[in-house]
Amino acid sequence: MQLVIISGRSGSGKSIALQALEDLGFYAIDNLPAMLLGALIEELETQTPARHKVAVSIDARNIANALVRLPELIELLKPRDIDIQVVYITADSDQLLERYSATRRRHPLTRDSEMTLDEAIETEQHYLSPVRDMADLVIDTSTTSVHELRGRIAEQVARHTSTHLTLSFESFGFKHGVPRDADMVFDARCLPNPYWEPALRDSTGRDADVQQFLAASEEVQEMFDDICRWLEHWLPRYLSTHRSYFTVAVGCTGGQHRSVYLVEQLAHHFANEYPSVRLRHRQLELQQQIDGQRSSGPHLAP
């Protein structure tokens, strides 16, 4: 059985993730009380035909004490033949506040209390910290469209197998913030910057002219070699702890040239050794979303 537990902050896109899994053939249950997780699995295992793909949402609508016990409840399931994935979906607090303000929906923690929206958002983050700490995969939707989130769920979660480490490489711009879902971050801002070459400024690290410029730099090659050596040495250690996902983020100033080039090269280098290699360019994809949404387009909502 494949069991996916979706959790995270309200307004971050949990419902969209659960719906995406349901569309992909998962038996989906929203707002499952954490204490009923074991009983649900026992019941599903007795059904004919058996449910082989199950997705449940467990979040702050649960009793707080139940969330604290969730890691223990999951440990009790591990002796069974179940591929368990815990996916935690989050977003920046300011972004969540903006989403709730735009939709005028009530945050779950404000319904039976006198909390302000700001207080509810921060309190929920505290309640969910045990789940966040044990998550196999963290997805930050602060700059993510509905379509991108559904795509990541389909690619990284639905097709995941417990025997493989999903290795993701992500480029980003430091001036836009460090990705919250990165496990390891490398800083490429010390490398020669194509931005200062007028002929290269409007190109990206995926374009041949920028690639030729950076490939000719000994410093760029040295950093690439050092990152490869580090990952080749330490990734097997993460595999030995049954880690399911590992995200390597490389940043430069704007996320257009140096970081893009390096993650392209890294993904190509490790593709032969790791069957599940994913590639993402945060700033390039965000710009594409902005361009596409100037006319119209869906946004994540609570």
The rounded average pLDDT for each run of 10 residues, N- to C-terminus, in the chain (302 residues) is 92 93 93 90 80 88 77 84 90 90 83 82 88 89 86 82 77 92 94 96 96 97 97 86 83 97 96 87 82 56 47
The CATH number that applies at residue 155 is 3.40.50.300
Among residues 127, 162, 197, the one where a domain terminates is 162
Tell me whether residue 15 is in a domain.
yes
Are 71 and 196 in a shared domain?
no
Angle between helices 117-127 and 93-103 (to 10 degrees): 130
Q: Which residue, 123, 246, 121, 256, is CA-closest to 188?
A: 256
Query: By residue range, what is the domain housing residue 234?
Result: 167-293
Question: Exposed/middle/buried for 83, CB within 10 Å: 0-12, 13-18, 19+?
Answer: middle
Q: Mention every residue, 6+ apart, whose C-beta is less than 8 A from residue 195.
A: 201, 253, 254, 256, 257
* CA 47 – CA 91 distance, rounded (Å): 37
Q: Report the predicted TM-score, pTM, of the whole model to 2 decimal places.
A: 0.67
Are 107 and 134 in a shared domain?
yes
Q: Which residue, 205, 187, 206, is CA-closest to 253?
A: 187
Residue 163's H or E segment, with its range, is: none
pLDDT at 198: 94
pLDDT at 79: 80
Are 16 and 85 in a shared domain?
yes
- Record the tokens describing residue 271, joined without a space: 């593709």
Are 142 and 38 in a shared domain?
yes
Residue 166 DSSP SS3: strand
pLDDT at 302: 46
